[in-house]
Amino acid sequence: MKELVFPVKEEIFQFRVALMGSEPLIWRKIQVYSDISFEDLHDIIQIVMGWTNSHLYEFRFKKYSITMPGTETSPMDKSIHIYADEVSVVEMLKKVGQKFLYLYDFGDNWEHEVLFEKRLPVNPHQTYPVCIEGALACPPENIGGIDLFYDTLKLTHEDRDDVDPKWVDHLDELYGDYDPFYFNLDEINDRLKTKAKIESNEDYILEEMIADFLETRETPFHLADCLNVLDIRKTGKNEKEIYELIASSGEVVVDNNLFYPRVSFLKDFAIRITPTEFEVENSLLITGHRLIPFLPFDILSDEAEFIYNQAPLDQKDIQLAVEELAHYFGLLDIDEIPVIDAGFHLDGSHRVSLLAFDMELFYKQNHFEPGDSIILKMEDFYRGVFSVHYDPISAIKDHEEQMKAWDNLFVASLKRVLQESAEKSYLVKQLMYTYFYMSRSMTPEQMKIPGTDVSLLLRQTKDIICSDLEDNGKILHFGSHVVVNLVHQDS
């Protein structure tokens, strides 16, 4: 399985690793980042010594035993046990000169003395980890331990006629072309560079993997489900990293350690849009911020697709004065407004070009009047496809009580979000959580009759206002709260 860890690089520790009982001494000198985990250190020792990473391992300190993640410990063992992926090197090593034991393969019992030699600053021209010195080749795997290694190694140098026949084939199998004096520093560092290159790209690779995974999920899932599908072995360190990447993706709501993809609860909600007089008079619809949070992040509002009478509606190029944009795009950040041509001076009188849906056929066939509504129903979340339906103002009066209840639940759910942690502190995510909380209290049938156009409802809710975030984006907050230098915490 793929294992993904992401060390933060600050300081360099230099170690000498020596295979105990070897004569002459088999040893390596390595430099590593100080805050790598002991699981990372295990991987590095395996590479520099020449082992094949085929057995269990353990690091031993006076009071502590640092073991391979998931291994069970004996109740007779009185040392304090820590999994190797849960503790960093810098947490255990406080002074130069400290020694500890690295044990590999509990059968052959290869013991290594690890000496903490130096603290060094990071060399920006050096790739880490790096092996800087060493001598001799480590023994072959599964040879039986250090004593049997030297006993059988002697046999390989004797005349085959003098060797017990039962050993001949076994020696060939164990040793092959083994050369005990072979040590190639360049080869070792090439393998270490390959490891470093993989790790330097893993944050990008992992984000891509998670994005692909989320595109396929339409039902709630646990972290273990994601790890299983992506074939990633869980460790304490990467578990936290992956959890945070999923939670901050903007595509899920987290509730009791269960991830709910947006589509799992938004798919049943209908969306009410009440066109302005300008839109009705000009037979168009400007989607703007009205589709928050019903569009994936990679689809802009003018890239949505509207279906009416089983055919997609066309779009047309329109012009608006900059001062008119706020009514349709006020909840979006400036770089989210899909302007076709903004010219060079965005003052209030300047006009910009953008795309709007051509609603002439829809308005004409439904005898659309100001005050009537458009109801959108999600057909394909990932492609941003919605079917378009007519809801006259007369019908609105028929389900006035249901709409009022919807509005009250929306406002109550939004206020709950605003009272909770800053983890949800940007507008799209705030509204996503709002709809999630609503979905916990509504039936699918109730979701099909939306309340007031949300952009209008937010304007009517006087104690909740919208402000700009310092690093782009918008946030909703209580009007009584002073918003200063807000930072966008998630993306």
Residue given tokens 């057995």 in the structure block: 55
pLDDT tens digits along 380-391: 998 999 999 999
Statement: residue 138 has pLDDT above 90: yes
Structure confidence at residue 9 (pLDDT):
46
Statement: residue 60 has pLDDT above 90: yes
408: buried, middle or exposed (CB in 10 Å: 19+, 13-18, 0-12)?
Answer: exposed
Q: What percent of the chain has pLDDT over 70?
A: 84
Average pLDDT, stretch 428-456?
A: 92
Q: Is 483 part of a structural domain of the chain?
A: no
Indicate whether 331 and 427 sit together in one domain. Answer: no
Question: Closest Cα partner for 167 from 180, 156, 179, 178?
Answer: 156
Statement: residue 165 has pLDDT above 90: no
Structure confidence at residue 485 (pLDDT):
39
Average pLDDT, stretch 44-61?
A: 94
Indicate whether 293 and 222 sit together in one domain. Answer: no
Structure confidence at residue 341 (pLDDT):
56
What is the rounded distance in angstroms from the CA atom of residue 159 to the CA atom of residue 277? 102
Indicate whether 384 and 272 sit together in one domain. Answer: yes
Statement: residue 76 has pLDDT above 70: no
Q: Is 75 part of a structural domain of the chain?
A: yes
Structure confidence at residue 286 (pLDDT):
94
Residue given tokens 């990633």 in the structure block: 232
DSSP 233: -
> 398, 427, 456: which is the final residue of a domain?
398
What is the rounded distance in angstroms from the CA atom of residue 467 to the CA atom of residue 472? 10
Indicate whether 92 and 71 sit together in one domain. Answer: yes
Structure confidence at residue 409 (pLDDT):
96
Indicate the residue type of 335.
D
Contact predicate 296/384, CB 8 Å: yes
Q: How far is CA 307 from the centre of its chain?
A: 34
Structure confidence at residue 66 (pLDDT):
94
What is the rounded distance in angstroms from the CA atom of residue 252 to the CA atom of residue 275? 30
Domain CATH number, residue 417: 3.30.420
Statement: residue 244 has pLDDT above 70: yes
What is the rounded distance in angstroms from the CA atom of residue 267 to the CA atom of residue 219? 11
Structure confidence at residue 7 (pLDDT):
39
Q: Is 489 part of a structural domain of the chain?
A: no
Indicate whether 182 and 156 sit together in one domain. Answer: yes
Cα–Cα distance list, 215 to 207, 224, 251, 255, 298 (Å): 12, 17, 9, 19, 12
Structure confidence at residue 212 (pLDDT):
84
DSSP string for 41-61: HHHHHHHHHT--S-S-EEEE-
When mean pLDDT is compared over 79-83, 153-157, 321-325, the highest value belongs to: 79-83
What is the rounded distance in angstroms from the CA atom of residue 41 to the CA atom of residue 93? 13
316 — pLDDT class (breaks 50, 70, 90): very high
What is the rounded distance in angstroms from the CA atom of residue 169 to the CA atom of residue 167? 6
In the numeric block, which tokens belong to residue 183?
A: 């040590």
Indicate whether 153 and 226 sit together in one domain. Answer: no
Bond from prior residue into 24 cis (ω within 30 degrees of 0):
yes
478 — pLDDT class (breaks 50, 70, 90): confident
Farthest CA pair distance, the chain: 106
Indicate whether 150 and 74 sit together in one domain. Answer: yes
Q: Is 429 part of a structural domain of the chain?
A: yes
Residue given tokens 């050096």 in the structure block: 126
Indicate whether 145 and 273 sit together in one domain. Answer: no
Structure confidence at residue 267 (pLDDT):
93
Strand order in the sheet with 373-380: 270-273, 373-380, 385-391, 305-308, 311-312
Q: How far is CA 423 from the centre of its chain?
A: 15
Indicate whether 55 and 142 sit together in one domain. Answer: yes
DSSP string for 394-432: HHHHHTHHHHHHHHHHHHHHHHHHHHS-GGG-SHHHHHH
Q: Is 370 part of a structural domain of the chain?
A: yes
Indicate whether 361 and 277 sit together in one domain. Answer: yes
Structure confidence at residue 164 (pLDDT):
62
- Count how many domains the chain has: 4
Structure confidence at residue 41 (pLDDT):
96
Average pLDDT, stretch 73-86?
A: 78
Statement: residue 32 has pLDDT above 90: yes
Statement: residue 399 has pLDDT above 90: no
352 — pLDDT class (breaks 50, 70, 90): confident
Q: Is 4 part of a structural domain of the chain?
A: no
Q: Is 31 part of a structural domain of the chain?
A: yes
Give the number of other CB atoms < 10 A from CB of residue 53: 12
Residue 26, beta-bridge partner list: 19
5 — pLDDT class (breaks 50, 70, 90): very low
Structure confidence at residue 490 (pLDDT):
43
Statement: residue 4 has pLDDT above 60: no
Indicate whether 34 and 180 sit together in one domain. Answer: yes
pLDDT tens digits along 426-436: 899 999 999 99
Structure confidence at residue 94 (pLDDT):
86
Is 382 strand, coil or helix? coil
Structure confidence at residue 237 (pLDDT):
60
Indicate whether 46 and 18 sit together in one domain. Answer: yes
In the numeric block, which tokens belong to residue 46?
A: 């395996």
What is the rounded distance in angstroms from the CA atom of residue 356 to the CA atom of residue 363? 14
Q: Is 404 part of a structural domain of the chain?
A: no
* Domain ranges, residue 471: 410-478
434: buried, middle or exposed (CB in 10 Å: 19+, 13-18, 0-12)?
Answer: buried
pLDDT tens digits along 93-121: 989 999 999 999 999 999 999 999 999 99
Indicate the residue type of 101.
L
Contact predicate 168/61, CB 8 Å: no
> 363, 398, 433: which is the final residue of a domain?
398
Average pLDDT, stretch 37-48?
A: 94
Residue 468, beta-bridge partner list: 474
Average pLDDT, stretch 297-310?
A: 91
Question: Closest Cα partner for 456 from 370, 363, 330, 368?
Answer: 330
Contact predicate 3/206, CB 8 Å: no
What is the rounded distance in angstroms from the CA atom of residue 111 to the CA atom of residue 62? 15
